[in-house]
Amino acid sequence: MTIQKENSMLQQKQMLADHFIELTQVQETGKKVVYTFVPGNLTELIYAFDMLPVYPEINALQSGMRKQSGDYIREAEEYGFSEDVCSYVKCDVGMMLQGNIGPTGQKLPPPDLLLLSYTGCFVFMKWFENLKYLYPDAEIAMLHIPYQESGRIEPNAMQYIKDQLTTEVIPKFERVSGKKFDPDKLASKMMLSAQAEDLLVKVFDSAQNKPSPIDAYFGGVYYIGPIFTAFRGSQACVDYYQELHKEVEYRVANGLGPITPDGTLKEEKFRLVVEGPPNWTHFRNFWKIFYDMGAVFVASSYTKVGGLYDEGFRHSPEDALGSLAEYCLGCYTNRNLPQRVDMLDNWITKYQANGFLVNSIKSCNSFSAGQLVIMRELERRLEIPVGFIETDLVDPRYYSFSNIKNRLDSFFQMLEQRTLYTGITS
């Protein structure tokens, strides 16, 4: 299949290629490597010390899309990991046990620093315990993020994180990198982050148009790539989002739907909001089920795991460490269940969705816990059709096309019947 690609996609592909090349050259350049996670990541701080980030869960999802994850997962299970353990963890560990060959076919360097920013997923801590066992020479820095139990960011929680950054995290960065912390350098990274975040919000807000020029779930996973991972705080990131925004504006001006692997969507029949990550091992097959039905995702909780910028947060140079603390506290997986319900309610209303779908991930408790409660509460509040399917992140054993298709056929029948009965269309 020939996949239609716009300039922004080609631009992002080159950014990733350059990043992996830079990682393979650390022995020559002397740059230090930080392994960390996407939710609550401190990318600007990493680059303020001229270090390079690696994201284990991104390597896992890329391995899933390249049909490599099944082999890695079996390797980890033979090593002793249970079938019930997060498939990201098993894929990542299996990849490392087989030589740590990254998604691009290049060997990744071992970490000099393991930076654990805990944001709502308890598996992260156990994951990094295992990475410390695999890489005993690496320093480890723990940034503990309090859960938003009260439904708001408390001032004492902000101060708690800032204190950890000052007394624990930054000193370890200084020791590993051999460089002193430069607040001005961090502030300059934060300014670039804010510019990119402004553009990303405009891209996602474009889904208010009919037809939506974007798919905020399947297309959205590409849109969030640079800002949620290795490029936030760089001019290259800003340049990417300027190009993406320009492409989206063109589609809005010309009344075009989103780009799919088979080209521009011809007709938008259903506008959906989705809770939960996508399946990566059968990504295009999974996506095709929806665009064949004319279904477009106008909002997605998954594309908020690395930051809820549509609520107004921006990285700020004015109080850089405070801004990092606020960012970590505000991640989607660090929010309580009523907050998540309210956010999904808002997106369904804002983007005029006529259906809500849960994709429950078998091995991901951070997303799956409470999803049935979320679904039933939204059905009660908004009286819209709801659907529930189950897949997995990168374990191909838990993707059943027939089961998913049968459930989705029933869901789309509900949507069609409601349209006929009420006259509500997309």
Question: What pLDDT, in 10s, does the model give residues 186-209?
Answer: 999 999 999 999 999 999 999 999
Lowest model confidence (mean pLDDT) among 18-22, 213-217, 398-402, 417-421: 417-421
How would residue 210 be classed by pLDDT, with cut points 50, 70 and 90?
very high
Place of tokens 């869960």: 57
Q: For residues 374 and 340, is the Cβ–Cβ distance under 8 A?
A: yes
pLDDT reading at 120 higher than 90 = no
User: How much is the pLDDT for 350?
Assistant: 97
| Segment 374-385, tens digit of pLDDT | 999 999 999 999
Is residue 1's pLDDT more than 50?
no
Condensed to tens digits (0 to 9), the pLDDT of residues 142-192 reads: 999 998 888 999 999 999 999 999 999 999 999 999 999 999 999 999 999
- Read off the pLDDT of each residue in 241-246 and give the average, rounded to a whole number: 98
Q: What is the pLDDT of residue 3?
A: 52
Q: Say yes or no to pLDDT of 415 above 80.
A: yes
pLDDT at 421: 61
For the chain, the average pLDDT equals 93
Give the up-direction half-sphere exposure of residue 411: CA atoms within 13 A in the CB hemisphere.
25
Q: What is the mean pLDDT of residues 251-257?
A: 97
Residue 382 CA to chain centroid, in angstroms? 27
Tokens for 265, please give them: 């969507």
| pLDDT reading at 245 higher than 90 | yes
Q: Centre a 10 Å sphere on the Cβ of residue 255 and count the other Cβ atoms it contains.
A: 10
Q: How confident is the model at residue 6 (pLDDT cuts 50, 70, 90)?
A: confident
Set out the domains of the chain in order of their start, with CATH numbers.
7-182 (3.40.50.11890)
| Helix residue ranges per DSSP H, 231-282 | 235-253
CB atoms within 10 A of CB 83: 13
pLDDT band at 422 (very low <50, low <70, confident <90, very high): low
Of residues 119 and 165, more confidence is placed in 165
- The dihedral over CA atoms of 360, 365, 370, 374, expressed in degrees to the nearest 10, equals -40
Phi, psi of 52, rounded to the nearest 5 degrees: -115, 130
pLDDT exceeds 70 at position 424: no
What does the DSSP assignment read for 414-426? Answer: HHHHHHHHH----
Phi, psi of 315 (to 5 degrees): -60, 135
Task: Note the pLDDT tens digit of each residue in 260-290.
Answer: 999 999 999 999 999 999 999 999 999 999 9
Q: Report which DSSP code applies to 331.
A: -
Flag whether pLDDT at 361 surpasses 80.
yes
Q: What was the pLDDT predicted at 243?
A: 97
Is a pLDDT exceeding 70 seen at residue 40?
Answer: yes
Distance between CA atoms of residues 285 and 321, nearest Å: 42
Mean of the pLDDT values across residues 123-141? 91
* Mean pLDDT confidence for 214-223: 96
Query: In the chain, pLDDT over 90 holds for what percent of residues?
Result: 83
